[in-house]
Structure 1
Amino acid sequence: MKFVNYILVFASFISLAYAGVPKPEYPRPQFERNDWINLNGTWTYQLDPVRSGFERGNINTTGFDSLITVPFAPESMLSGVQHKDFIPRIWYHRSISVPVSWSDKSVILHFGAVYYESEVYIDGKFVGRHHGGSSSFSYDITRFVKTGKMHNLVVVASSDLRSGLQTAGKQSLQWASHNCNYTRTTGIWQTVWMEGVDEYALKSLHVMTDIDQQQVTIQPTYYHQSTHRLTVHVRDNGKTVATRTVAANNSSVIVIPIKDPKLWSPESPFLYDLELLVTSLDGQEIDKISSYFGMRKIHVEGNRIYLNNQAYYQRLVLDQGFYPDGIWTSPSDEALKRDIMLGKEAGFNGARLHQKVFEERYYYWADKLGYLTWGESASWGMDANNIEAARNFISEWIECVERDRNHPSLVIWTPFNEQWWPDKTNYPRLAGDIYQLTKLLDPTRPVNGVSGGAHILTDIWTVHHYEQDPEKLRDIFYSDGKYFQTPNEAHPGHRNIGFNEIKNSNNYIFPVYDGQKPYFVDEFGGIKWVSDEKLQQLDSKTQTWGYGDAPRTLDEFYQRLEGQVDQLLSLSEQIWGYCYTQLTDVEQEQNGIYNYDRSTKFDMEKIKKIFSKEP
C-alpha cells in the first residue's frame, strides 16, 4: 500500500478516536463480558469483481487502497462506499493488537454477521470459513496472535446472490431495486469484536423458563470442561432472589425455583437479571457473564395462541429492518429502539421480523420495551428444491435459532416465507425437516413452518392476501363456512397453494386447514400512500409501488384501513391475530405506516386507535 494510504488510514483512526466507534454497544446483551475490544470503525477494503484476489496475494496484504466503515455494508451510505452493483467478492483489512493482560487467556474473534460466505486470515494464515449471511460466528485465534504485537486481520466475503444456493431475503436479484425487493447487503454488516476468555470459560447458555412450575432451567456450555464451579445469581431489581452452585461441566443443568414469578408480557415486560460466575475450587474467578431472562410462556391450544396461559390476540406489523443510510444495518442502537417505539406508538403489540435475521440488540430492546417478535430467516432467493441450497439453509438456520432462542420477546419461529413448490421432490422434505429441527433446538415456541405458503408441518396456519376492499377481504377469508386456503380465479396471484386432497407427482400429501390450528393472517393491507401529494395522484405512473390501487384521499385511506382491520376482528372466532404490511416505506415500496426515514406519514392518533382495537 502506498505511503499516502498509510497516512489516510492513520488519519481515519485518529478521527474515530474522537468521533467514537460506530455501534459501540456490546452486541450480545444476554451474554455480556466486561473485557472486550470493539473492532468496528475504519478498515481498508478492495472490491474483487472477477475473484482474482487470492491469485494476487490479498491474504498477505498489510492494507488496501480504499477505506470503509465497518460494520456497514459497502452498498450503504454509512460505509462511505455506496457501491450499488453486485459485489461477487470484497476484501477487508485492519490491524489488530491483543492486550498484554490477555496473555493467559484464549482470544476469541467474533462476527455478528457477514454476507454470505467468508474466510478469515491473520498474517496470511487461514483461520476459518463460514457459510451463511445472517448468523453469528466466532474463531479462537489464540495460536495466530501474540500479546502486544500488531497483526494483519484479513476478511474476504463472497456472494453469488443469483445462484439460488443462498438466502437473500429482500435483496434485489436484479441490478436495481424493484417492487418489494431492495438494495443488497454484502460483506460485514454487524459488529466485529474480540474478547479474552479463560480456556474453561462459558461458551453459551440455553435458558428456558417454566411459569407453571415456577422455575428457570439453564443449560451451560463451556469451551473446555473442568473441576471448577459455576454459581448462578438471579436478581430482581438488584436484590438476589435465588442462587445455585453446580459443577462447571456441560452435563450440569441448573434448575432454579423462582418463587411468585413476575411474568413478562408486552403490558409488563419484567426482566430478571442473571449473573454467572465460574470459579476454581480455591475461589479464584475464572469467568463472569451478565445476562437476563423473562418468565413467560407461549403455546398453542386449539385454535388460539396463548401468552402466559391466557389467549392473547397478536396485532403485529411487518418490519423489514431496512434503513436509508445503513440498509440491513441500523445506523445506531437508538435506531433499533426507535423502530420498536414507533410500532408501539402505532398501536401494535409486536412485529413479524420479515425476511431478515435482525441484530441481536433489536431483541434486547424488544425484551426491555415489551414487544412481541417473530423470528424469520431471509429465505427468499434460495431454490428450496436444490440439495446444496437446503444444506446451506440448515446450518445457517441452526445458528440463528441458537443465538436468539433465549429472548422472551421472540414468540414464534418462521423458517420460510411463501415457499410454494408442492410438485418438487426436495421442498416438502426440507420444510418438514426444518420444522422438526426447530422443535429440537427450541421446544418452547410454536413454529410457523412456511408463512403464507405451502404448509408441510406447522403449528399455526398462516395466510397472506392483499385484497384492498374490506368486504371482499372478509369474503375471501371466510365464505360458505370455510376459511380461505386456496387461490381461485378471482385472485390468481395469491401464493397459498391449494391442498384439498392434493398429491403431487412424488405422492406427498399436503395438509388441509380444518380448524385444527390457530388461523393467522400474517400479511394483509399494504395500502399504498405516498406522502408527496403529486406522486400519490399519479399513482402507477410513478416509480413507487404498493398493493392494489392507492386511495385518492387520506380520508379514503383511513376508511379502507379501519375497514380491513374491523373485518379481520369480526372473524376472531377463528382468525386469531394479524400482521399488517408494513411499519415503514422501504425504497420504492410506499405502503408503510411511517416514511422510510421514520418521519410521520399519517395522523398517529387515528392510526393507533385503529390498530389498538381488540376482538
Structure 2
Amino acid sequence: MNPLRQEYPRPQMVRKHWQNLNGTWDFEYDFSKSGKERNLQKEPNFPHKIQVPFCPESELSGINNKDFLNAVWYRKTFTIPSDRKNGCLIINFEAVDYYCEVWVNGEYIGSHKGGYTPFSFDITSFVSEGENTLTVYAEDDTRTGTQPSGKQCSEYNSTGCFYTRVTGIWQTVWLEYVPKNYIKAFKIVPDVDNCKVHLDLSLSGKCSRKKLNVTAKYDNRIVGDTSIKVTGSSAKLSIDLSELHLWQPLDAKLYDLELQLEGDNQLDTVNSYFGMRKVEIGDKAILINGKKIFQRLVLDQGFYPDGIYTAPSDEALKKDIELSVALGFNGARLHEKVFERRFLYWADKMGYLVWGEYGNWGIDHTKASSLHTYLPEWIEAVERDYNSPALIGWCPFNETWDLHGHQQYDDILRNIYHVTKKMDSTRPVIDTSGNFHVVTDIYDLHNYKQDVELFAKDFEPMANGGEVFESFPDRQKYDGQPYFISEYGGIWWNSNDESGWGYGDRPESIEEFVNRYVGLTEVLIKNPSICALCYTQLYDVEQEQNGLYFYDRTNKFDDEVMAKLRVVMEQKAAIED
C-alpha cells in the first residue's frame, strides 16, 4: 500500500534533507491507560496496523473505530543513513490529539499537550546508524471539560453540529536532518509602507560569530539581500526591497526567501516565502493594503468523510479553496480547529483570506483555571501561523456560552486578547466570535434568522446610520468597531436526506433555497455599516446538512443555481471603494 500524505509538511521553512514517516505503523489500544505500567513503551510488537497520519476513528487509517478511545499506542521503525549521522536529527510531529509522550529505542524523549499544534524533539543522542524504533503514546478524552476539542462530539453518536472524534496522530510525522548549528525559527514582518521586510530569527547551537545571509527574490529576480554576523541565539535584520508587489485577495504575489547560516564548514539552508501585505482597522472597515475589502467568507469546518480531521491528499486541501472561490467567496473562517500548514500554504498561494481560530469548545471557559491550559496552546498556534500572508485576523474563542449556569470568566478572554496583540500587533483580534465580547478589535455577531424580512429589520437602522443590531445588549456593548456578521445562513438543504440537521425550517424547494440565500446575503452586502460576512457553511459535515456542497465535495445544485449563488456573493459591497 502506497502511503498517503507524502508532501513536505512545513512549506514556509523548507530544508532539503528530511524523511517522511507517514505510512504503516504498529498500533494498540489502551482503554484503561495502563500501558505505561505494562511497559508498552518497550514492547517490540503491537497487534494492529494503522495508516498514519489518519486517526484511528477514520476509514483511511484502516482502523475505523469510532468509539471513545481513551489512549492509544503507536510504533514505527525507521532507518538512518550513514551519511546523515554527523549533524542533528529532529523528530517533528505536526499534530497529535491530545496529550502525547514519545520514546526512541525505549528511551523517553519528551511530551506535548495540545491537539492542534506541532512539536519537535532533538533525538540525535538517542539514535544510531541503521534501524531505530519510535514509540508514541497518546491520551484523549473529549468529556473532561479540560481540553479544547473543537467540534469533536462528547456523546457516542455525532449530533447537531458535533462530529466524529479524533484521537492520536492526525498530521504528518517526519524526520529532519540539520547541521549542529541551525536556524530554529523565524518571524517575517512585511513593511509595505517602507518597502522592507523584517526578520526575527531564533538559532540553535553555538552560533556566535557565524554569518547569516538572507536573499529575497521575486519571479526569480534578486530584489534584496543582506548579511549579518550572529552574536548569539537570536538575530534581527531588515531587507530593502527594490520592487514592491502587493499580496492582494485572490491575487497572491509572493516573494521567495532563502536563509543561510554558515560557519565551521557547515551550512544550514532554509527556503521560505512571504507576501507584502498589511491589515489595518479603518472607518467601519478592515483595510488590506490601505483598501476597503469586503470579506466574503464561508465557514470551513475542516472535516473529511474518509479522513475526518485529515485531508486525504494535499490536492483535497487546495480543492476546498477552489470550491469556495467558485461560489464567489474570497476567504474563510477556519472554524473550531487549527488547520494543517499545507492548507495555509495554498491559501497564501491563492490569495485566500483566512481567520485563525482554535478548537475552544470542550474547555470550560467559565473557570479561571482553564487559562492555564488554553494560553500555552493558543500561543503555539499564533507562533506557527504568524508568517502566513493569507491569515488576516485571530479569533481564539467561538460562542462562549454559559455553562452549567455559570457565565464565561471574562478575564480569560481579556488575557488571551492582550497576549495575542502582544505577540502580533499587525492583525486584528476578535476575542470571542458571536458572544460575549469583552475586548475586541472587530465587533462580530451570529444571526441565523431564516426569514429574510425579519433578518433585514435587524440591520435596517444601521444602513441609515442608526444604532447597530445587538444580540445580547445586557452582556456586551458595541464601541464603534468594524461590524462583522461572522455566521449567518446555515440553510438546511439536502434533497437526498431529510433526517439531518440544520438551522431553521428547510426550504420547500431549490427555488426557495436560492431566494433565501440571495435575500439574506444582499441584506449584508448592501449595508454600508457591515464590513464582512461569513456564510454557514461550505459543505455538509456528517448529519449537519447546511453546506453549499455535499460532504464529499460534489455539487448540491446544478450549474445554473451555482451561478446564481456566485453572482450575489460577488456583487460590489456598499462599503467597498
Give TM-score, length-normalised by structure 2: 0.95
1:105 aligns with 2:63: no
1:421 Cα deviation (Å)? 4.5
Q: Deviations over 1:290-332 (max 9, x none)?
A: 1000000011123210000111110000000100000000000
1:574 aligns with 2:538: no
Q: Deviations over 1:209-238 (max 9, x none)?
A: 011111100111111232211100101111
Q: Which consecutive residues of structure 2, in runs of 5 or more, have no partner in the other structure?
A: none
Q: Cα distance 1:604–1:244, how it changes in 2: closer, same or farther (>3 A)? A: same
1:426 Cα deviation (Å)? 7.1
- Partner of 1:161: helix, strand, or coil? coil
| 1:520 alignment partner AA | F
Q: Distance in 2 between matches of 1:104 and 1:612?
A: 56
1:443 aligns with 2:418: no
Q: Distance in 1 between matches of 2:172 and 2:309?
A: 12
Which residue in the other structure is 1:233 paired with?
Answer: 215
Q: Distance in 1 between matches of 2:408 and 2:536?
A: 30
Which residue in the other structure is 1:121 paired with?
Answer: 103
Which residue in the other structure is 2:171 paired with?
Answer: 190
Which residue in the other structure is 1:556 paired with?
Answer: 512
Within a 5 Å distance, the mapping from 1:499-578 to structure 2 comes to 499=474, 511-514=476-479, 516-532=480-496, 535=497, 539=498, 542=499, 544-571=500-527, 573-578=528-533
Q: Distance in 1 between matches of 2:460 and 2:158?
A: 35
Structure 1's consecutive aligned runs of 4 or more residues displaced over 6 angstroms after TM superposition are none
| 2:300 alignment partner AA | D
| 1:334 alignment partner AA | E
1:610 aligns with one of 564, 568, 576: 568
1:71 aligns with 2:53: yes
- Partner of 1:110: helix, strand, or coil? strand
Q: Cα distance 1:251–1:151, how it changes in 2: closer, same or farther (>3 A)? A: closer
Q: Distance in 2 between matches of 1:606 and 1:73?
A: 38
- Partner of 1:402: helix, strand, or coil? helix
Q: Distance in 2 between matches of 1:62 and 1:251?
A: 41
Which residue in the other structure is 1:378 paired with?
Answer: 359
Q: Cα distance 1:425–1:555, how it changes in 2: closer, same or farther (>3 A)? A: closer
1:443 Cα deviation (Å)? 1.2
1:88 aligns with 2:70: yes
1:124 Cα deviation (Å)? 2.0
1:161 Cα deviation (Å)? 1.0
CA contact (8 A) 2:60 2:307 kept: yes
Q: Distance in 2 between matches of 1:610 and 1:134?
A: 35
- Partner of 1:483: helix, strand, or coil? coil
Which residue in the other structure is 2:39 paired with?
Answer: 57
Number of residue pairs matched by the alignment? 564
Within a 5 Å distance, the mapping from 1:155-304 to structure 2 comes to 155-224=136-205, 225-248=207-230, 249-280=232-263, 284-304=265-285
| 1:566 alignment partner AA | E
CA contact (8 A) 2:492 2:502 kept: yes
- Partner of 1:439: helix, strand, or coil? helix
Q: Deviations over 1:486-529 (max 9, x none)?
A: 3xxxxxxxxxx433xx6xxxxxxxx5114x10000000000011
2:9 aligns with one of 8, 24, 27: 27
| Greater alpha carbon shift after TM alignment, 90-99 vs 168-177 | 90-99
1:329 aligns with 2:314: no
Q: Deviations over 1:260-281 (max 9, x none)?
A: 4100012420000001011117
Which residue in the other structure is 1:9 paired with?
Answer: none
Q: Deviations over 1:56-79 (max 9, x none)?
A: 210101120100000000000000
Q: Distance in 2 between matches of 1:427 and 1:98?
A: 50
Q: Which consecutive residues of structure 1, in runs of 5 or more, have no partner in the other structure?
A: 1-14, 487-496, 503-510
Q: Distance in 2 between matches of 1:383 and 1:114?
A: 21
CA contact (8 A) 2:486 2:535 kept: yes
2:553 aligns with one of 590, 594, 598: 598
- Partner of 1:59: helix, strand, or coil? helix
Percent identical among aligned pairs is 44
| 1:232 alignment partner AA | V
- Partner of 1:156: helix, strand, or coil? strand
1:482 aligns with 2:467: yes
Q: Cα distance 1:72–1:251, how it changes in 2: closer, same or farther (>3 A)? A: closer
Q: Deviations over 1:94-139 (max 9, x none)?
A: 1122222222111100000000000001122111010000011000
Q: Distance in 2 between matches of 1:285 and 1:160?
A: 45
CA contact (8 A) 1:522 1:580 kept: yes
Q: Deviations over 1:326-352 (max 9, x none)?
A: 000000000000000000001000011
Q: Distance in 2 between matches of 1:466 and 1:257?
A: 48
Q: Distance in 2 between matches of 1:392 and 1:605?
A: 45
CA contact (8 A) 2:400 2:408 kept: no
Q: Distance in 1 between matches of 2:189 and 2:322?
A: 27
CA contact (8 A) 2:246 2:276 kept: yes
CA contact (8 A) 1:277 1:285 kept: no
Which residue in the other structure is 1:151 paired with?
Answer: 132
Q: Distance in 1 between matches of 2:411 and 2:360?
A: 16
| 1:577 alignment partner AA | A
CA contact (8 A) 2:368 2:409 kept: no
Q: Distance in 2 between matches of 1:425 and 1:597?
A: 38
CA contact (8 A) 1:522 1:579 kept: yes
1:86 Cα deviation (Å)? 0.7
1:151 Cα deviation (Å)? 2.0
Q: Distance in 2 between matches of 1:592 and 1:411?
A: 24
2:540 aligns with one of 566, 585, 598: 585
1:397 Cα deviation (Å)? 0.6
Q: Deviations over 1:401-426 (max 9, x none)?
A: 10111000000100000013499687
1:609 Cα deviation (Å)? 0.9
| 1:435 alignment partner AA | Y
Q: Deviations over 1:518-541 (max 9, x none)?
A: 000000000011031xx3xxx4xx
Q: Distance in 2 between matches of 1:80 and 1:111?
A: 20
| 1:275 alignment partner AA | E
Which residue in the other structure is 2:327 paired with?
Answer: 346
CA contact (8 A) 1:165 1:388 kept: no
Q: Cα distance 1:387–1:199, how it changes in 2: closer, same or farther (>3 A)? A: farther
Q: Distance in 2 between matches of 1:599 and 1:365?
A: 20
Q: Distance in 1 between matches of 2:377 and 2:83?
A: 34
CA contact (8 A) 1:266 1:349 kept: yes
- Partner of 1:361: helix, strand, or coil? helix
Q: Distance in 2 between matches of 1:195 and 1:360?
A: 17
Which residue in the other structure is 2:287 paired with?
Answer: 306
| 1:485 alignment partner AA | E
CA contact (8 A) 1:447 1:459 kept: yes
CA contact (8 A) 2:19 2:175 kept: yes
CA contact (8 A) 2:46 2:75 kept: yes
Q: Distance in 1 between matches of 2:137 and 2:285?
A: 47
| Greater alpha carbon shift after TM alignment, 154-163 vs 379-388 | 379-388
1:285 Cα deviation (Å)? 4.2
CA contact (8 A) 2:459 2:468 kept: yes
